[in-house]
Amino acid sequence: MAAGVAAWLPFARAAAIGWMPVANLPMPVAPAEKNKRQDELIILNVSGRRFQTWRNTLDRYPDTLLGSSEKEFFYNEETKEYFFDRDPDVFRSVLNFYRTGKLHYPRYECISSYDEELAFFGIVPEIIGDCCYEEYKDRKRENAERLMDDQEDNKDAKLPNMTFRETMWRAFENPHTSTMALVFYYVTGFFIAVSVITNVVETVPCGSAPNQKEVPCGERYTVAFFCMDTACVMIFTVEYLMRLFAAPSRYRFMRSVMSIIDVVAILPYYIGLVMTDNEDVSGAFVTLRVFRVFRIFKFSRHSQGLRILGYTLKSCASELGFLLFSLTMAIIIFATVMFYAEKGSSSSKFTSIPASFWYTIVTMTTLGYGDMVPKTIAGKIFGSICSLSGVLVIALPVPVIVSNFSRIYHQNQRADKRRAQKKARLARIRISKTGSSNAFLHSKRNGLFNEALELTGSTEDEKRLSKSTSLLESQHHHLLHCLEKTTVSVLALSHILNHEFVDEQYYQQSYLEGGLQNYPSRSPSLSSQDGVTGTCCTRRTKKHHTPLPNASAPAHMQPLTHTHTHPQGLQELSTIHIQPLSTSRSSLNMRVDEPAPLNCQSSQITTAIISIPTPPVTTPEGDAHLPAGPTHQNVVKVSAL
């Protein structure tokens, strides 16, 4: 039911009294109004801008967010208002929809942000009023085209394993993908040009012997031209067959315009080979040679402008059709008139109506060759009317075609420009992301220190705490730690060095850095274990209660060795040492195949021993998590933090 009509329900119900006296059966009981809620104002706070409306207004559309109970999720008890953290400008349109029943699309608004807001508030865009619907649809189509363009560029990315056939097809379609493709592209272009020039030069009269008439070059140097032609046709045939082989869908390829042009370009040659030098068919044979000129259309693979032109003509087919039709009508009319007007004059060139067609066409297109001119006065009058109307009829559809061409051309220009800018844009985005991921890791490290220091309770180090870690960040860090704890194999010991590196690639690839963190062990048993454990694992022992954030590097930079289980089932990790220049990486979260070298430049962090009571069962799993490390086995590769 429409918006305001709900307000008329009382009227409709009241008017039902008209039926009562004539009713056959008794009426059903009316529904009781449980709580007669007076209409109240509700406040919608959208990013600080307060909108107020009656509750009834919103209830008009119960299948949207604001009209249903879904808005209760956004109710703020303290301020007694509904708070939405959305764009207040777009919300204006949304609220007006409730008020007036019509949804309008503001022209200055970005189409995707508008769509998002509509989706959030549960409003279907199809109900946009007629006044704004066209604009909305146009903008949406433009946006979709743009996105499709971008997506097509992504498709060019080389898939890891493409068959030979697919590679070939990609090379054909986009010559910039490989050098071979480029070479092929230029070679074919060259041969197309050669072929076309040959065809042209063939007909030029060359010098002749004095006693003979001038012959065209084609007949003088028959063999040379024949060889040239053969070579070109062979190249084209090979190219066509290769394309046919590489095409993903051969049937579709054979139906496409370009392949038809290819076939038409080479067919005359083969037909000429097959046909004998028969007098009867030589006329037809000559006609066939005309089709060789179609080779010039093969250039459209090489030229984008040609393609755009072709596409424009295709998209303006209706306008062109109209032009043709109206011209035909006008030609017939004027030819008839001219014929009858000139019938009287002697030696008139207007011998029949079809003969007058030529005059009409030449006049309407303002060519005016002058081979046929009217002589009678009536003829001249009608001739002038003919030429005037010709200008008008031709001028009408032309702007439509031109504007279509302009639109398509600019679209293509934009697409090219976007593609060119894309690289620079991506690079800039990458840099800014690096900055943010660096910041993240930095805060994470601070978060670690915070936790560590909290655990130790050491006060003087608390001063070094950066208080900037928000609750969200610390929870995020905790989450990452949980992940690490789950997956990292609690292995042997190594030493973490304190790091402050910036490795752009590294950060990009493994955003979630693992790291074995340092929690000083609270287990009292650790100290007692010092003697128990053997010397199979190196460990630093002085680390229990002080995380030693800036402890100097341990002297021995030995790699971690193997898993080590204590009799009590405890495993410990001591300070973990990241070896500089080694491909130390966290075993988690990282693709094994792409280790990146670290640029360790400076100091090192040491960690305390972490005593983790884990069952030995985890060990085999832990092994599995180890990267098939290039340089170290059994080294827990940790990320630098």
Partner 1 sequence: IQICKDAFHVSPCSFSSPDSVEDELELSAVRHRPEGLEQLEAQTRFSRKELQILYRGFKNECPSGVVNEDTFKDIYAQFFPQGDASTYAHFLFNAFDTDHNGSVSFEDFVMGLSILLRGTVQEKLNWAFNLYDINKDGYITKEEMLDIMKAIYDMMGKCTYPVLKEETPRQHVEVFFQKMDKNKDGVVTIDEFIDCCQNDENIMRSMHLFENVL
* Polymer length of the chain: 641
Position 11 contacts partner 1 (CB under 8 A): yes
Cβ closest to partner 1, residue 26 vs residue 207: 26
Q: Is 511 in the site for partner 1 (CB under 8 A)?
A: no
**Strand residue runs (E) in 492-541:** none
> Please, which residue, 17 or 274, has the CB nearer to partner 1?
17
Q: Using the rule CB under 8 A, is 628 a contact of partner 1?
A: no
Using rule CB under 8 A, residue 249 touches partner 1: no
**Furthest-apart CA atoms within the chain: distance in Å:** 133
Which amino acid, residue 244? L
23 binds partner 1 (CB under 8 A): yes
Q: Which residue lies nearer to partner 1 by CB, 27 or 273?
A: 27
Among 33, 78, 277, 460, binds partner 1 (CB under 8 A): 33
- Binding to partner 1 by CB under 8 A, coded x per residue (else -) over 224-243, reads --------------------
Nearest approach, Cβ of 17 to partner 1 (angstroms)? 5
Of 6-14, 120-128, 436-444, 460-468, the segment contacting partner 1 by CB under 8 A is 6-14
HSE value, Cβ hemisphere, 13 Å, CA-based, for 166: 9
Three-state DSSP class for residue 64:
coil
Q: Binding marks (x or -) toward partner 1, 86..105, rule CB under 8 A? A: -------------x------
Q: Is 429 in the site for partner 1 (CB under 8 A)?
A: no
Strands 49-54 and 75-76: unpaired
CA–CA–CA angle 78, 79, 84 (5° rounding) = 110
Residue 348 Cβ, how far from partner 1 at the closest point, in Å? 58
Nearest distance from residue 19's CB to partner 1, in Å?
A: 6
**Smaller CB separation from partner 1, 15 or 482:** 15
The identity of residue 316, as a single letter, is: C
Question: Which CB, 15 or 159, lies closer to partner 1?
Answer: 15
Q: What is the DSSP secondary-structure string of 208-219?
A: --TTS---BHHH
Kindly state whether residue 3 participates in binding partner 1, applying the rule CB under 8 A.
yes
Q: How many CB atoms lie within 10 A of CB 249?
A: 9
Kindly state whether residue 131 participates in binding partner 1, applying the rule CB under 8 A. no
Q: Which is nearer to partner 1, 38 or 459 (CB)?
A: 38
Listed in sequence order, the DSSP H helices in 256-397 are 257-274, 279-290, 304-315, 317-342, 353-364, 377-395
- Of 25-33, 185-193, 506-514, 553-561, which part binds partner 1 (CB under 8 A)? 25-33
Residues sharing a CB contact under 8 Å with residue 51, sequence separation 6 or more, in sequence order: 43, 44, 45, 91, 92, 95
Q: How far apart are CA 325 and CA 320, in angstroms?
A: 8
DSSP assignment of 192-259 equals HHHHHHHHHHHTSBPP--TTS---BHHHHTHHHHHHHHHHHHHHHHHHHHHHHHH-SSHHHHHHSHHH
- Considering only the stretches 4-12, 108-116, 441-449, 488-496, report the one whose residues sit in contact with partner 1 under the rule CB under 8 A: 4-12
Whole-number minimum distance, CB 51 to partner 1, in Å?
Answer: 17
Would you say 12 or 273 has its CB closer to partner 1? 12
Complex with partner 1: residue 22 or 223, whichever CB lies closer: 22
Query: One-letter amino acid identity for 172?
Result: F
Instruction: Give yes or no for residue 286 binding partner 1 (CB under 8 A).
Output: no
Footprint (CB under 8 A) of partner 1, residues 49-68: 54
Binding region for partner 1 (CB under 8 A) out of 12-20, 191-199, 532-540, 588-596: 12-20
- Both structure tokens of 213: 């008439």
DSSP code at position 636: -
- DSSP 8-state code for residue 576: B
Stretch that binds partner 1, among 8-16, 313-321, 358-366, 416-424 (CB under 8 A): 8-16
CA–CA separation, 186 and 542 (whole Å): 71
26 near partner 1, rule: CB under 8 A = yes
Considering only 35, 38, 154, 459, the residue that binds partner 1 (CB under 8 A) is 38
Q: State the Cα–Cα distance between residues 172 and 166, nearest whole angstrom.
A: 10
Stretch that binds partner 1, among 22-30, 355-363, 518-526, 543-551 (CB under 8 A): 22-30
Task: Kindly state the helix (H) or strand (E) to which residue 404 belongs, with its residue range.
Answer: helix 398-456
CA-angle at 400, arms to 394 and 401, nearest 5°: 80
Residue 41 binds to partner 1 (criterion: CB under 8 A): no
Instruction: Return the H-helix or E-strand segment holding 613.
Output: strand 610-613
Residue 209 makes contact with partner 1 by CB under 8 A: no
Are 493 and 538 in contact by the 8 Å Cβ rule? The answer is: yes
Does 8 sit near partner 1 (CB under 8 A)?
yes
Piece of 14-22, 70-78, 90-98, 381-389 that binds partner 1 (CB under 8 A): 14-22
Stretch that binds partner 1, among 18-26, 223-231, 543-551, 560-568 (CB under 8 A): 18-26
Instruction: Please give the C-alpha separations between residue 32 and each of 35, 285, 562, in angstroms, as whole numbers.
Output: 9, 94, 79
- Contact positions vs partner 1 (CB under 8 A): 1-27, 30, 32-33, 38-39, 54, 99
